[in-house]
A and B are shown apart, each in its own frame.
Chain A
Amino acid sequence: MGIKREKILAQWEDRSDMADVISINDIHRFFVIGNQQFEALKGITFAVAEGEFVAIMGASGSGKSTCMNILGCLDRPTRGRYLLDGTDVGEMSADQLARIRNRKLGFVFQGFNLLPRTSALENVELPLVYAGVTSRERKIRAEAALEKVGLAGKERNHTSQLSGGQQQRVAIARALVNNPSVILADEPTGNLDSRTSDEIMALFTTLNSQGITIIMVTHEHDVAAYAGREITFRDGIIIGDSRRAPASYGE
């Protein structure tokens, strides 16, 4: 059993280096409201390389979430090309997209989006359930993911018995558990106080240092400061894209 566990964890840690994980080109997204047409994204182009930590900034309503939903394969662009790990996502069926969300992407939401009346462990196991992983392996991997986000010992707690910060950690563990290429986080600290926000950002920084690509939306500059790259949106277009040395945790 010990050997099996090591093997499962080793496979989970293994990730081969690749070039651009995400590449979007001239993405447009129209919404129809009544008989009005509204263009939330007016031609977005950028690429994210393996291992990057990107913060997306911008005023409310500038199209950040719309863009993240497209990156997360939860929504489709009206126009434009999206390559994930070199494959064109635009051509894929709904079920293929479900598979991509399950295997390649991990989503962290502002409102946590955990299942109520369900334990932390079961929430983290859920992506593995849909991946068809056996229950024994599910448990091992979910426990390891919870340990990684600092929640060892809280496996049996229901989500209602956890603090906001702890709930967001469960959500991060759930995003991590299927070994994704990219973690997408839409205002992950939006519902947390500043101390808890710092803890969550420290966790993201650690995960990024272990090689996980992270794209995170925020409108707080001190949160964005943890990222090595900052893309700024305004009214559905990119008005800034800058790289810098990230502020490390504890500075």
Chain B
Amino acid sequence: MDLLQTLKVAFRALRTNKMRSFLTMLGIIIGIAAVIAMMAVGSGAREVISQQIASIGSNIILVLPGSTTSGGLRSGSGGVQTLTSDDAKAIGSELPSVEAAAPSIRSSGQAVYGNMNWSTIIWGTSPEFFDIREWKTGSGRSITRQDNDGASKVCLIGETVAENLFGSSDPIGKTVRLKKIPFTVIGVLERKGQSPQGQDQDDAIYVPIRTAQRKLVGSQFPNTVGSIMVKARSSAQLEQAEEEIKSLLNQRHRIVQGKEPDFSIRNLSEMLAVAEQSSKAMSLLLGAVASISLIVGGIGIMNIMLVSVTERTREIGIRMAIGAARNDILMQFMTEAVLLTLLGGFIGILLGSAGATIVSSFLGWPTLISIASITVAFFFSGAVGIFFGFYPARKAAGLNPIDALRYE
């Protein structure tokens, strides 16, 4: 029996019971839609994460005051203040696995230019910071060592700040007031976009750290910093660098063995791994939905095919009486089952793509419905048909011609 004829017979059988065929397909439709959504969400998340990795810079370690076990991140004022600019200098110059280290200190406040004002985050940091973050100045110049040593009242502004304070005019050379103190704008940073935590990284102003320590942060410890950002020489040396930082700071802070350190070290790629983990969990959930509904849908198909075989026992008998071999009957019912799942798969691909597009537009992710995921979904639906159609088809093919003919 040729394929065309087999397909014709299968189509006719499905058409005779339109509603039943559709209901049978439903499980496959849901399952395949979940497969498509899962792959789209998974690759969308991967895409976003890799963009974020690129925006943070590579091989970065963050050193924070306070121990991990006693509360983690320093939270604004009132937290522990144990890291100093000298710690940063020592890490940057003494450790073989470290390429550079930059201290930074955070403060928030109003930036005023003329009659415009904008509330933003003001960071004090050293010139190395921009190398570590791989963050270039779009116009003007960056902060220099001289600016830092002299505690100059100069600042670099992010794109968002530039837009909100200066609109279309050139900010360079203009004076802005930060916490009422006048600063000269020396440069505008290139656009960086969102951080992994979803903050606008361009909504920030950077000033030399010494300036910040002296003029902006009212602190009783003038040399303290909020965090130190370290860049390891390579990703292979990340762990090594962490170890070196740990022992250097233990030594500098006179932390004897067995005592709780007064700092904590975070690897940014670890933080990204957390983000990746949660997108994996989402994929896993969708994967579970997909496999459960594919299995349930497959069982539904097996059930309906068994009903169909019983209903059409007489037809099978007639076909056998006029010369259908067992393989012809097997193929006929397999084709019917596979056609059912492929049709369901097709509808599922359409629905899944639509769903993924909606979800990713909500999350602001790129929609990634690849040819690969459609191919996978297509093969999956076919495989479900083959797997769950085989038993009923074999049952049909195994019928005895005379018994089938006499079946009432």
Contacts and interface: CB of A to CB of B under 8 A. Distances in A.
Q: Which 3 A-B pairs have the closest CB atoms?
A: A102-B323, A130-B323, A98-B325
B318 A129 contact: no
Contacts of B401: 74-75, 101
Contacts of A129: 1-2, 5
Given A94-B326, A115-B318, A132 B402 contact: no
Nearest to A100: B323
Interface in B314-333: 314-315, 317-328
15 contacts: A72-B321, A74-B320, A74-B405, A95-B325, A95-B327, A99-B323, A117-B12, A126-B322, A129-B1, A130-B1, A130-B322, A130-B324, A132-B2, A135-B2, A135-B5
Of the listed residues A94, A117, A131, the one surrounded by the most CB atoms of chain B closer than 10 A to its CB is A94
A97 to B, nearest CB: 8
Interface string A72-83: 101100000000
Given A98-B320, A107-B321, A135-B2, 8 more contacts: A94-B325, A101-B321, A113-B314, A117-B16, A129-B5, A130-B319, A130-B322, A135-B4
Given A129-B5, A130-B323, A131-B323, A69 B402 contact: yes
B402 A174 contact: no
Contacts of B320: 74, 98, 101
A115 B5 CA distance: 15
Interface string B317-361: 111111111111000000000000000000000000000000000
Nearest to B13: A117
Given A115-B315, A117-B12, A129-B1, A102 B322 contact: yes
A184 to B, nearest CB: 10
A127 B321 CA distance: 9
B301 to A, nearest CB: 22
Nearest to B15: A117
Nearest to A118: B12
A109 B404 CA distance: 14
Contact of A127 (B322, B325, B405): B322
Contacts of A178: 323
Interface in A38-90: 69, 72, 74-75
Interface in A107-142: 107, 109, 113-115, 117, 126-127, 129-132, 135
> Interface majority SS on A: helix, strand, loop or mixed?
helix
Interface residues of A, number: 26
Interface string B1-37: 1101100000010001000000000000000000000
A103 interface: yes
Contacts of B4: 135
A35 B335 CA distance: 40
Given A117-B12, A117-B16, A130-B328, A101 B323 contact: yes
B390 to A, nearest CB: 19
Contacts of A103: 323
Contacts of B321: 72, 74, 101, 107, 113
B123 to A, nearest CB: 78
Contact of A98 (B2, B314, B326): B326
Contacts of B325: 94-95, 98-99, 130
Contacts of B328: 130
A96 B180 CA distance: 100
A94 B326 CA distance: 8
Contacts of A107: 321-322
A113 B325 CA distance: 18
A113 B319 CA distance: 10
Nearest to A103: B323
Given A74-B405, A117-B12, A129-B5, A98 B315 contact: no
Nearest to A101: B323
Q: Determine which residue in B4, B323, B400, B405 has the highest number of CB atoms from chain A within 10 A of its CB, and name it.
A: B323
A158 B222 CA distance: 98
A95 B326 contact: yes
Interface in B118-174: none
B1 to A, nearest CB: 6
Nearest to A96: B325
A102 B12 CA distance: 23
Among B321, B326, B328, chain A packs the most CB atoms within 10 A around the CB of: B321
A127 B402 contact: no
Interface string A136-158: 00000000000000000000000
B22 to A, nearest CB: 19
A126 B2 CA distance: 12
Contacts of B400: 75
A113 B318 contact: yes
